[in-house]
């Protein structure tokens, strides 16, 4: 039996060695299975690649899968899982925020039959208000859109069984969010609560705009509700304006304005027109978002490009 550890690395030169040598390695030495570590260099702009290449030169169990540019963490995880040969595959961040001490607990749950063991972020040791509120909002919206199975706070600190990985590797979509896809796939899930620690070094690279785009991507790839919402809103507005129109007609013209509202036709018309133009524009852009996703899928480009020259110890291409 073998366990693969998949770790995306993006600009982690400052903290990576500390993470690997003092946090992860001591734990790896304790596990009773064979293991391999797949470090996915996601187009780092600092010296991360050199750092991890050195590690892999010294230990053949460490593989380096280097991208030709930055493709994002979700894609890095996907590539790592595709490369993994283990019977169980554990994904975790390279910054030490997900405590490697817990891997034994993950492995135990997996041995007990959990096919997807998911780390759920309980408390943050130190985390900005925006991140907290943003994450709450994200899960609330996912639920509202009909994606019911997500447990709020689920993270990519996760162990999946070989059978899950084999199915996961068949998924081809581009705008992907691993968490959502894992939920969508089903299988037997087990959750482990943990405290999200602080970064060892460097800055988190997921800033507000990256997270916002990720949220939009996941809404679109996981749910078609946004399309339906605007049909309903459109319908509601139409009926509401019809009722208001009839009210104005009766109040103003049939009853001679008893309440004294003094509606002028122009006011009504202009308010409605502006309102409807806004609505049409919003619904257009929602549709456009879906179309752009179809566009990306239709292009059928590979999800990522591996820079073979800078990669180390990878399995041969089939
Ligand atoms: N990461 C990556 N590609 C990116 C951004 C981040 O591979 O474009 C990696 C990063 O090196 C880390 C993990 O993904 O191992 C989580 O990133 P980060 O700590 O920036 O995010 P957060 O802690 O806010 O989830
Ligand atoms: Mg982090």
Please write the tens of the pLDDT for every residue from 165-176.
999 999 988 878
In this predicted structure, what is the pLDDT of residue 107? 96
pLDDT at 71 over 70: yes
Helix axes 178-185, 73-83, angle to 10 degrees: 50
CA dihedral 53, 60, 113, 191 (to 10 degrees): -20
What distance in Å separates the CA atoms of residue 283 and residue 263, rounded to the nearest whole number? 29
In this predicted structure, what is the pLDDT of residue 127? 63
CB of 15 within 6 A of ligand 1: the answer is no
pLDDT at 108 over 70: yes
Residue 42 sits at the vertex; the CA angle it makes with 89 and 13, to the nearest 5 degrees, is 100
Q: In this predicted model, what pLDDT tens digit does every residue of 176-190 receive, in sequence order?
A: 888 888 888 889 999
Lowest mean pLDDT among 120-134, 142-156, 212-226, 274-288: 120-134
Surrounding residues of ion ligand 2, Cβ less than 5 A: 93, 95, 97, 204
In this predicted structure, what is the pLDDT of residue 257? 77
In this predicted structure, what is the pLDDT of residue 4? 96
**Which pLDDT band holds residue 46 (cuts at 50, 70, 90)?**
very high
286 near 227, Cβ under 8 Å? yes
User: What's the CA-to-centroid distance between 70 and ligand 1, angstroms?
Assistant: 11
Q: In this predicted model, what pLDDT tens digit does every residue of 21-43 receive, in sequence order?
A: 999 999 999 999 999 999 999 99
> What atom of ligand 1 comes closest to residue 71's alpha carbon?
8
User: What's the CA-to-centroid distance between 272 and ligand 2, angstroms?
Assistant: 47
Lowest mean pLDDT among 107-111, 285-289, 314-318: 314-318
Q: In this predicted model, what pLDDT tens digit does every residue of 139-170 receive, in sequence order?
A: 888 788 777 777 888 889 999 999 999 999 99
- With 0-12 / 13-18 / 19 or more C-beta atoms within 10 angstroms meaning exposed / middle / buried, residue 313 is middle
In this predicted structure, what is the pLDDT of residue 125? 55
In this predicted structure, what is the pLDDT of residue 238? 77
50-59, 125-134, 297-306: which is most confident: 50-59
Among 41, 176, 206, the mutation site with the greatest number of ligand 1 atoms within 8 A of its Cβ is 206
User: What's the CA-to-centroid distance between 205 and ligand 2, angstroms?
Assistant: 8
CB of 76 within 6 A of ligand 1: the answer is yes
- Radius of gyration of the chain from its Cα atoms, rounded to whole angstroms: 25
What's the average model confidence in pLDDT over 90-102?
92
Q: What percent of the chain has pLDDT over 90?
A: 46
Report the SS3 class of residue 195. strand
155 near 68, Cβ under 8 Å? no
Task: Quote the strand ranges of the chain, DSSP E.
Answer: 2-9, 34-41, 62-66, 88-91, 116-124, 154-161, 189-196
Average pLDDT, the chain: 86
What's the average model confidence in pLDDT over 41-59?
93
In this predicted structure, what is the pLDDT of residue 274? 74
Residue 275 sits at the vertex; the CA angle it makes with 272 and 276, to the nearest 5 degrees, is 85
Residue 84 sits at the vertex; the CA angle it makes with 213 and 17, to the nearest 5 degrees, is 75
CB of 42 within 6 A of ligand 1: the answer is yes
pLDDT at 318 over 70: no
In this predicted structure, what is the pLDDT of residue 62? 95
Residue closest via CA to ligand 1's atom 16 equals 93
pLDDT at 102 over 90: yes
Residue 293 sits at the vertex; the CA angle it makes with 291 and 296, to the nearest 5 degrees, is 115
């Amino acid at each position: 039996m073998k366990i693969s550890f998949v770790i995306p690395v993006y600009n982690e030169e400052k903290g990576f060695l500390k993470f690997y040598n003092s946090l992860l390695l001591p734990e790896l030495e304790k596990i009773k299975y064979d293991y391999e570590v797949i470090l996915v260099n996601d187009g780092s702009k600092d010296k991360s690649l050199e750092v991890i290449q050195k590690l892999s030169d010294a230990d053949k169990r460490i593989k380096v899968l280097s991208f030709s540019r930055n493709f994002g963490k979700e894609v890095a995880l996907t590539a790592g899982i595709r490369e993994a040969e283990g019977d169980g595959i554990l994904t975790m961040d390279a910054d030490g925020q997900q405590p490697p001490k817990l891997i034994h607990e993950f492995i135990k749950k997996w041995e007990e039959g959990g096919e997807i063991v998911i780390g759920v972020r309980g408390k943050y040791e130190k985390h900005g208000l925006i991140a907290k509120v943003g994450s709450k909002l994200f899960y609330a919206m996912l639920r509202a859109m009909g994606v019911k199975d997500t447990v709020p706070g689920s993270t990519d600190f996760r162990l999946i069984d070989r059978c899950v990985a084999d199915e996961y590797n068949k998924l081809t979509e581009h705008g992907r969010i691993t968490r959502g896809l894992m939920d969508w796939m089903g299988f037997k899930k087990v959750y482990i609560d943990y405290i999200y620690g602080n970064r060892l070094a460097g800055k988190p690279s997921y800033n507000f705009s990256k997270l916002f785009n990720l949220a939009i991507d996941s809404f679109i790839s996981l749910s078609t509700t946004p399309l339906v919402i605007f049909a309903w809103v459109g319908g509601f507005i139409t009926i509401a304006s019809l009722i208001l129109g009839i009210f104005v007609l009766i109040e103003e013209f049939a009853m001679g304005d008893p309440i004294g509202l003094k509606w002028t036709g122009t006011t009504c018309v202009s308010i409605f027109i502006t309102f409807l133009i806004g609505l049409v524009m919003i619904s257009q852009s929602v549709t456009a978002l879906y179309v752009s996703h179809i566009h990306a899928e239709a292009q059928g480009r590979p999800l990522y490009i591996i820079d073979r020259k800078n990669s180390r110890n990878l399995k041969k291409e089939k």
